[in-house]
A and B are shown apart, each in its own frame.
Chain A
Amino acid sequence: MHGKYLTSLVSGRRSQLSTRSAVIAVIFFVVLIVSLSIGTVQIPPMIVAEIILSQIPFLGAHFASGFSQVQYEIVVLLREPQILGAVVIGASLGVGGAVIQSIFKNPITEPYVIGISSGAALGAVLAIAGSVYIFGAYTVGGMAFIFSLLVVFLVYFASIRRGKVPMVYLLLMGIAISLFVSAIVAFLLFSNIRLQGAVFFWLLGSLQEMTWPKVEIITGINILMIMVSLLYSRELDAFQMGEEYASSVGVSVERTKILLIATITLGVSSCVAVAGLIGFVGLVIPHVSRIIFGGSNRSVVPASAVLGSVFLLISEDIAHSRLFGGEVIPIGIITSLIGVPFFMFLMVRLAGGFYES
């Protein structure tokens, strides 16, 4: 009797969760298609769907009829890189946040705290200030990527204590070194007026400069990052129970930490390099996932990927909506403007429990 009640309770929760997953998956695809169809030239969603299907190798020929060449080029060459960029970057920041919060056992951390953002900013500013052209058109992104990795390395090695990296050290070193690097960036901006316009958009975060080659690079790196994070979701759960606990159940703590931090740094740095500093996603999306699906990383990691994508897609649509004086707004501004009220609503209405204790 008792057992049966329990089973129904558990399966009830399970079906509730699969309903939520299905709803989120539907929202994702709807938002994706809608995002591709809106813009200065409206293209009906059905046409957009046809254009997407026409891009599938071999099968595509069956759909290559109902749209004009202009519509095809707008969708494929202009919108798809930005939209796909939003999908990949949203997923990357969401997963990065989930992983970093788990290994730090700290709900107010995000990937940027270990130096990714300040390092990338320094690289970008140096590239422009020094008129460096080592990677041709990709110099700013390339320099941002390299400096991001360098600063994370510095933070990590500065935090080693007797062969281990205590998380409190890493967090404090991350914040301290980030502030130091940001001060250098601020000084460079201050002393060189020319820089301010050029770097401004990048610092605010923007998908305007996305092109297919950039999307291809970040997609490759971030698929790898998300796969690794999914594979390590059980280790991440053990980390949330404490490092000594994780070690006692057989997790190789230091090795797993360095592997995950390196992977997240690669993935998130690549996104920051092409799109600048898009804030808020890495901090908040993992919490939204936890509120909807519970805290186990077996759900939080994939949910953070999808919800991060949805959130960035909607932000991108609003950035493009020209609601604010006909300009395309940098997406980094939108993520915070719409994200914060939404998150506050979620905290008040749904969270309770863990967030109150």
Chain B
Amino acid sequence: MSLELVSVSKRRGTFRLEGISIRAEDGGILGIAGPNGAGKSTLLKVMAGILPPDSGTMTIDGRDISSMSLRERAGKISILFQETPAPFNFGVKDVIRTSGYFIGGREDNIDRVLESVGIAELGGRPFHELSGGEKRLVMLSALLYQNTKVCLFDEPFSFLDVDKEMRIARTIRKLRDEDRLVIVTMHDINGLLRLADSALLMKKGVQVAYGTVGDVITVENIYRTYGVRFAEYDSPEGRRMVPEESMAIQERVV
């Protein structure tokens, strides 16, 4: 299975996403990074089919998603949004059930997805009583419940404890190992180095670099994207990057 964007452009108010072209295959994780306002979330919403592109096409296995019915699309692509929803008085299971909309009534797997994220004990709780991190895990369960080949994650690690971060990263890797296509936007360059197989760097709505993580995450590309000089070093977990300025501070402290 493959997902392909050909020179996709989208205007939203004064912001413009321009000429994005990528091709991603299943069994891989594509990380998208860039400064605030680079258009990562907009791009992800275009990929989810929520925002139709103004020009260009997006296809899954050669089929244009604009030609699919909404239900068919929802059976192929799921998305974990950055914002946590706030429904009135929903239970955790009411929340998860909503993501199975396109399959109609069936709800045999709700307990299973809660267990696979490790939050079976939250199943009977009211959603609004949960902490922000627990809510994120419930939304992750909802995404798993939708059970799609393409899974999109918009800043899944922001504002999380390390244990919940690990749980989400583990789930994302598991989805890749199940031969799904995972696309993740994130702020943390080192997080991206740890998690992703390929990377897309964006700035002000255009793509700066796209390819394998090794090719894309370089000192020059990072500078072109963020305007910040990074230095790289090898660590036991592999290649890592750190802003030169903070290295200088560290050296001074040492």
Interface residues of A (CB under 8 A from B): 2-3, 6, 9-10, 13, 101-102, 107, 234-235, 237-238, 240-242, 244-252, 290-291, 294-296, 353-354, 357
Contacts and interface: CB of A to CB of B under 8 A. Distances in A.
Interface residues of B, number: 37
A40 B205 CA distance: 74
A248 B48 contact: yes
Contact of B74 (A9, A248, A290, A294): A248
A355 B197 CA distance: 44
B101 A242 contact: no
Most buried by A among B45, B87, B91, B99: B87
B82 to A, nearest CB: 11
B124 interface: yes
Interface of B: 45, 48-50, 70-71, 73-75, 77-79, 81, 83, 85, 87-91, 94-95, 97-102, 111, 120-121, 123-124, 126, 128-129, 146
Given A241-B85, A249-B146, A353-B129, 18 more contacts: A6-B123, A101-B88, A234-B98, A237-B87, A240-B85, A240-B88, A240-B90, A241-B95, A241-B98, A248-B77, A248-B78, A249-B99, A249-B100, A250-B70, A290-B88, A290-B89, A295-B89, A353-B128
A13 B78 CA distance: 30
Contacts of B146: 249
Contacts of A246: 98, 101
B120 A2 contact: yes
A251 B81 contact: no
Contacts of A295: 87-91, 94
B120 A357 contact: no
Nearest to A7: B111
A238 B124 CA distance: 19
Contacts of B123: 6, 10
A9 B85 contact: no
Given A6-B111, A10-B124, A250-B74, A240 B129 contact: no
Contact of B45 (A234, A241, A244, A250): A244
Contacts of A101: 88
A248 B129 CA distance: 25
B88 A245 contact: no
A315 B48 CA distance: 49
B126 A235 contact: no
B91 A296 contact: yes
A249 B101 contact: yes
A251 to B, nearest CB: 6
Contacts of A291: 89
Contacts of A249: 74, 78, 98-102, 146
Nearest to B152: A248
A6 B120 contact: yes
A102 B71 CA distance: 21
- 6 closest A-B pairs by CB: A250-B74, A295-B89, A250-B102, A240-B87, A296-B94, A241-B85
A241 B50 contact: no
Contact of A244 (B81, B98, B121, B128): B81
A251 B101 contact: yes
B122 to A, nearest CB: 10
Contacts of B101: 234-235, 238, 246, 249-251
Given A247-B70, A354-B128, A238 B98 contact: yes
A234 B124 CA distance: 19
A250 B79 CA distance: 12
A353 B90 CA distance: 11
25 contacts: A3-B120, A10-B124, A107-B88, A234-B101, A237-B98, A242-B85, A245-B81, A245-B85, A246-B101, A248-B79, A248-B81, A249-B74, A249-B78, A249-B102, A251-B70, A251-B101, A291-B89, A295-B87, A295-B88, A295-B89, A295-B90, A296-B91, A353-B128, A354-B88, A354-B89
Contacts of B90: 237, 240, 294-296
Contacts of B89: 290-291, 294-295, 353-354
Nearest to B146: A249
Contacts of B70: 247, 250-252
Contacts of A294: 89-91, 94, 126
Most buried by B among A3, A244, A245, A248: A248
Most buried by B among A13, A101, A244, A250: A250
A59 to B, nearest CB: 36
Nearest to A247: B50
B141 to A, nearest CB: 14
A314 B102 CA distance: 41
A244 B88 contact: no
A249 B91 CA distance: 18
Contacts of B121: 2, 6
Given A250-B70, A295-B87, A295-B89, A357 B128 contact: yes
B106 to A, nearest CB: 12
B28 to A, nearest CB: 21
A353 B128 CA distance: 7
Contacts of A237: 87, 90, 94, 97-98
Contacts of A247: 49-50, 70
A3 B45 CA distance: 37
Nearest to A356: B128
A295 B89 CA distance: 4
B83 A242 contact: yes
A240 B129 CA distance: 17
Contact of A9 (B75, B97, B124): B124
